Amino acid sequence: MSQNPETPENPVGAASPVVIQVEGVHKTFGDLHVLKGCDLTVRSGEVAVLVGPSGSGKSTLLRCINQLEEPTAGRVLVDGVVQGYRAEPLPDGRWQKLRPVEIAAQRSRIGMVFQRFHLFPHLTALANVMEAPVQVRGLPRAAAEAKARELLERVGLGDRADHYPSELSGGQQQRVAIARALAMDPELMLFDEPTSALDPELVSEVLGVLKDLAADGMTMVVVTHEMGFAREVADRVVFMDEGRILESGTAEQVIDHPRSERLKGFLASVL
């Protein structure tokens, strides 16, 4: 291999394959230009932490990766596969959109955890975790249940399996949501401010689960304002501002030695 494993763009090592490739993605909502040409590469096993001021487009970028939003321009590849469109353009130059089932299949390999959990309130914690493996993958119920119990155990909630979400604390709900995403054996996980809706004393229990996942080698993109977490876990910190990626590098480079005035100002406001 000719690549240098020490380059900041590639802190994990040249051997690990690219999982997410965001190429020149723009996103507009009517007249509002939210993403203004974003490029991002995340390699297998890498933890990328996305930081930036409110409204800078972090959630929108994350949502473009698993097609909850359609990019207006540019494209997203996961494992080298174009998301949402056929690999090759049509003869007239247009891109053929995939059918809903094909998009669903692409999404099922990407786990997502939301700021406000979005657990299914009519299902117990266990049933929340079992739902997608049974309904999407067609796993037999017994196998799905065994797996769900194992995952709940892993996030420290083995004894809460029969509780409904309304009977769990915020931190417990978010851990169930993580277990629910893991149940689909995702190749990568997206976290959109997973601890922002939590009381301060509950933040650490969720960050603990994220750290364990990172240690197990999960590829992760995490939007967060927790700089301590970024410093400890991130292989790469990405700073977004006004729809652009302004700086990207190790936590040391980005958090401790910011180059742009925007990043200095942002860090002053969150640290």
Ligand X SMILES: Nc1ncnc2c1ncn2[C@@H]1O[C@H](COP(=O)(O)OP(=O)(O)OP(=O)(O)O)[C@@H](O)[C@H]1O
Site residues for other proteins per CB under 8 A: 66, 68, 100-101, 104-105, 107-112, 114, 116, 118-124, 131-132, 135-136, 159-160, 162-169, 171-172, 177, 180-181, 184
CB 146 within 8 A of CB 98: no
Choose, by CB under 5 A, the member of 10, 59, 67, 174 that binds Mg ion. Answer: 59
Q: Could you tell which of Mg ion, other proteins, ligand X, none binds residue 57, using a CB distance below 5 to 8 A set by kind?
A: ligand X
- Min dist CB 52 to ligand X, Å, is 6
Task: State how far the Cα of 172 lies from the Cα of 179, in Å rounded to an integer.
Answer: 11
Choose, by CB under 6 A, the member of 10, 21, 44, 59 that binds ligand X. Answer: 59
Secondary structure letter of residue 98 according to DSSP: P
Q: Which residues contact 183 (CB under 8 A, 6 or more apart)?
A: 129, 130, 132, 133, 144, 147, 148, 151
CB 181 within 8 A of CB 151: no
Measured from the CB atom, the residue of 116 and 259 that comes closer to Mg ion is 116
The verdict on 56 binding ligand X (CB under 6 A) reads yes
CB 222 within 8 A of CB 62: no
Choose, by CB under 6 A, the member of 54, 100, 216, 261 that binds ligand X. Answer: 54
Rounded to 5 degrees, φ, ψ at 47 are -115, 110
Task: State how far the Cα of 43 lies from the Cα of 50, in Å rounded to an integer.
Answer: 15
Strand partners, 237: 49, 249
Task: State how far the Cα of 122 lies from the Cα of 192, in Å rounded to an integer.
Answer: 23
Q: Could you tell which of Mg ion, other proteins, ligand X, none binds residue 251, using a CB distance below 5 to 8 A set by kind?
A: none
- Min dist CB 266 to other proteins, Å, is 27
- Min dist CB 68 to other proteins, Å, is 6
Q: Could you tell which of ligand X, Mg ion, other proteins, none binds residue 55, using a CB distance below 5 to 8 A set by kind?
A: ligand X
Residues that bind ligand X (CB under 6 A): 29, 32, 34, 52, 54-60
